[in-house]
Structure 1
C-alpha cells in the first residue's frame, strides 16, 4: 500500500532530515506514527501525500510515486493536516464543491459522522470553533472512502468526549483494502485504536511492530515493589506503585500501555528491540 525505499530528504543542503529511510505499510491496518514534536512525523506524512518530494529514494502509494501527484493517486488518498484552512462557505457548499474529486464519496455517511460529532450541518464553516472545524474535516475524510487515509495530530483541539467519538468512528472505518496512518505525540489518544506501532525519533524509524506481537513479547503490569520484579525493562513510578514492562516469558496476557511503551522505546530502545529481533 505505502512503500518507502531508501528515502533521503532535507530542507537544507547537506543536512538530511531523513537518510535512507525504509518503511512499508499494508492495507487493513490502523498505524500509529508516534514521536515527539519535531521528530519528523509531519514531514514523513507529507512525503506520503506528495506534498514534499524525496531528494533520493522512492515513496509509492498504491503503486503510484506520490511526488508525481497523478489523478489516480489523488483520488485514493486523503490527508488531514494538523494546520488547515476551511473556506467561508456552508457545510453543504463545501461538500458540493470538494466531494466530486473523490469518486467513492458517501454523502449520507458524511452527515452521519457530523451527527455523531454533534456538528450542525447548516452552519458556516468560518463560524465554527477550531475543534468543530476539525471534526468536519475528519468527517469529510472518512466519507471520501479513499484507500489511504493519513491524519496528522487529528486529536489536537478535540475535547475528551470528542476524542472518544474519534476513536469510535476511526475503528469503524478500517477495512481490508484501506490503510490508515495516524500521527500523534499524544500517545494515549491512540490506546485501543491502532493495531500497528511505528515510532520515529531523531528523524529515524526506531520501532515498527504490530500490537499483537508487542503483547506476545512484552508484559505490562503494576507492581508495589519494583525490586521484587525480575527482568524490568522500563518502569514508571506513581502513587499506585510502579508500572513496569518486562519480557513476557510466561505467555501472560496483558493490556498494552501505549504511553509506557513509547517512553520505554525512547529511553531504553536497544534491549527492547533485541527482544523483537
Structure 2
C-alpha cells in the first residue's frame, strides 16, 4: 500500500506543488496519474521513490519510509523515469549488473519481454533507438516483480504496435500484490489499461476515482447541438456530426446510450471545473490540498 498524508513540497518559496496532499493506493490496481505540465507528477514519483523529501507530511510505501532509503525498500520498488539514459553495454551485461538488486527478478520473464519486443540480449544499449531502450527498461521493470512499479510517461518513444504490446504486458504483469502507477500525457494510449484514475489540477486539488464511478456520475457522448444538453456542460468540442460533451447524466435531453469514459475529455473537464469535480467525487477517497 502507498499512503501519503498531508504532504507538503515546494521548489523554493514560490513554486508550491503540494500543500496537504493525501492519497491512498492499494495493491491490485493499475493507477493512472494525470495532470497538466508542472502539476508535479514526476515529483510525486520521486517522493515515493525516496529521491526527494517532503517538507512536511508522511509517505509510506510498502510499509517503508522512502526517505530512509533502506535496502528492503529499494529492492521492492522500481521507478522508470520519463527520460532514460543507458550505459554503453550489452543488454545481457546490464541485466547481470542490475538484476541482483531485486530478489524476485525473473530472468525467464525478462527474456520473454525482449522476444515480444523483437530484441536480443546481445544488442548494445548505446546502439539501439530510444524507443528500443524504453522497451528494454519497461521489460526490466516488469521482470523485477517489485511490490511497487512507477512508470513515468512509459509510452513516449513507442510506436503504435509497441503501445499495444506495452498494454498487454503490463496487464499481464499486474496482480493482487502489486501497485502499478503510470503517469502519462498520452491518455488515449492507456485508457483501456488504467483504473482507478488520479488527476492533479493546477488548483492544488486531486481527483481519485474508479472508472466505474466516473461513468456513473458523468455522461460522455455526442450530441447534434449543445442545446440538447440541459444544465452545466463541463467540457465540449466540435466533432463530426455535432459536439463531444461531458455533462451530468440527467442533463442530456436526448438519452443516447452512455459511452465509455473518455480520459482526454475527462481531463479537460476536471481542469475546467476542478472545484465541482472534486465535490462530485469527494466520497471516493478524494481529498483536497489544504
For Structure 1 versus Structure 2, the TM-score category normalised by the shorter chain is over 0.9
Question: What are the residue-to-residue correspondences of 1:163-242 with 2, within 5 Å?
Answer: 163-202=163-202, 204-231=204-231, 232-242=233-243
Normalising by structure 2, we get a TM-score of 0.90
Whether the 8 Å contact between 1:32 and 1:182 is mirrored in structure 2 is yes
Q: Which runs of 5+ in 2 are unaligned?
A: 283-290
Question: What are the residue-to-residue correspondences of 1:20-35 with 2, within 5 Å?
Answer: 20-35=20-35
Structure 1 position 256, deviation (Å)? 0.8
Structure 1 position 251, deviation (Å)? 12
Indicate the SS of the match to 1:114.
helix
CA distance in 2: counterparts of 1:36 and 1:82, whole angstroms = 15
Whether the 8 Å contact between 2:205 and 2:274 is mirrored in structure 1 is no
Whether the 8 Å contact between 1:198 and 1:205 is mirrored in structure 2 is no
CA distance in 2: counterparts of 1:173 and 1:185, whole angstroms = 22
Question: What are the residue-to-residue correspondences of 1:58-97 with 2, within 5 Å?
Answer: 58-97=58-97
Indicate the SS of the match to 1:78.
strand
Q: 250-259 or 142-151: which moved more?
A: 250-259
CA distance in 2: counterparts of 1:17 and 1:203, whole angstroms = 10
The correspondence for 1:275, drawn from 245, 258, 280, is 280
Indicate the SS of the match to 1:59.
strand
Whether the 8 Å contact between 1:7 and 1:21 is mirrored in structure 2 is yes
- Correspondence for 2:105: 105
- Correspondence for 1:255: 260
CA distance in 2: counterparts of 1:115 and 1:11, whole angstroms = 42
Give per-residue Cα distances to partners, 1:219-269, cap 9 Å, x unaligned: 211122221233433212123321112223489653110100001100122
Structure 1 position 121, deviation (Å)? 2.6
Indicate the SS of the match to 1:21.
strand
Whether the 8 Å contact between 2:84 and 2:133 is mirrored in structure 1 is no
Matched, 1:16 2:16: yes
Normalising by structure 1, we get a TM-score of 0.94
For the aligned residue pairs, the C-alpha RMSD in angstroms reads 1.8
Distance 1:271 1:35, change over 3 A: same
